[in-house]
Homo-oligomer: A and B are copies of this chain.
């Protein structure tokens, strides 16, 4: 457990909430993925390989990519690092992603986002073959999540579902309010919850009476990207609060101290959703490597 998580735990102990901690669960997921990667390599000679594509020199993005590569390495997953200049065009990026999609030595592809403004991000995402979309960003992956079809999950929403399952949070019939509607976070999170038989309300910047809607929620998923946006007074006593935000200074989208006074379960930031996201990325990379290796034999 990190120091930050320990501090959060102290707060939680003095209040009503239990923490939903992702760290240990994620470590167990990564351990299982690593064991499968090892078996795959020993039985077929194939090491799972994740290609990371970074466009431009945003330091935060570079840090994320480096972290994902380090975690991959620890799990016995190889990585191929592609770094493209900030002035890369959509066509150049699409060409690079198409090449990786066709490369039999690459099993999973991660395009670090956001990409620079001149790039059509959707066109870039769609150049990733659905079978290698281990970050769950393509239109195919989204529809697969919505329809319960086979496919990769967007890593943060998929990680949130794992966390809720691990903490035995009942989803069927639960009223879930999702705050935020981005294509890789809010929208797929709502679709996965709906597929688990939750009642799902999508809220966003144009929503009226947001606090009042949130107050009805059995489960709140905050994915809005604004520090301390969700206040304790917005929550129904006993609500389950999932904070998918990760803003500057390690601050989530939920005012943690306030939420901990009201919620029954709450994710800390960091140590909640974050580790689950990376664990699912690695797990899905091994899934992809296994599937592609089996298809070629």
Contact = CB atoms under 8 A, between A and B. Distances in A.
Interface of A: 122, 139-140, 142-144, 146-147, 149, 172-173, 175, 181, 183, 187, 190-191, 194, 197, 199-204, 206-208, 213
A213 B187 contact: no
B173 A208 contact: yes
A197 B202 contact: no
A73 to B, nearest CB: 33
Nearest to A200: B202
A187 B146 contact: yes
A143 to B, nearest CB: 3
Identical copies in the complex: 2
A199 B194 contact: no
A172 B206 contact: yes
Contact of A199 (B144, B172, B173, B204): B204
Contacts of A122: 147, 149
A50 B172 CA distance: 41
A172 B142 CA distance: 24
A178 to B, nearest CB: 10
A17 to B, nearest CB: 23
A140 B143 contact: yes
Instruction: Pick the 3 closest A-B CB pairs, nearest first.
Output: A139-B143, A201-B201, A197-B206
Contact of A147 (B149, B183, B201, B208): B183
Nearest to A210: B199
Contacts of A147: 122, 139, 142, 183, 187
B208 A175 contact: yes
Contacts of A140: 139-140, 143
A202 B194 contact: yes
A203 B208 contact: no
A202 B204 contact: no
A200 B213 CA distance: 11
Contacts of A142: 143, 146-147
Contacts of A143: 139-140, 142-143
A119 to B, nearest CB: 15
28 contacts: A122-B149, A139-B139, A139-B140, A139-B143, A139-B144, A139-B149, A140-B140, A146-B146, A146-B183, A147-B183, A173-B206, A175-B207, A175-B208, A181-B194, A187-B194, A194-B202, A197-B206, A199-B201, A199-B202, A199-B203, A199-B204, A199-B207, A199-B208, A199-B213, A200-B201, A200-B202, A201-B201, A201-B202
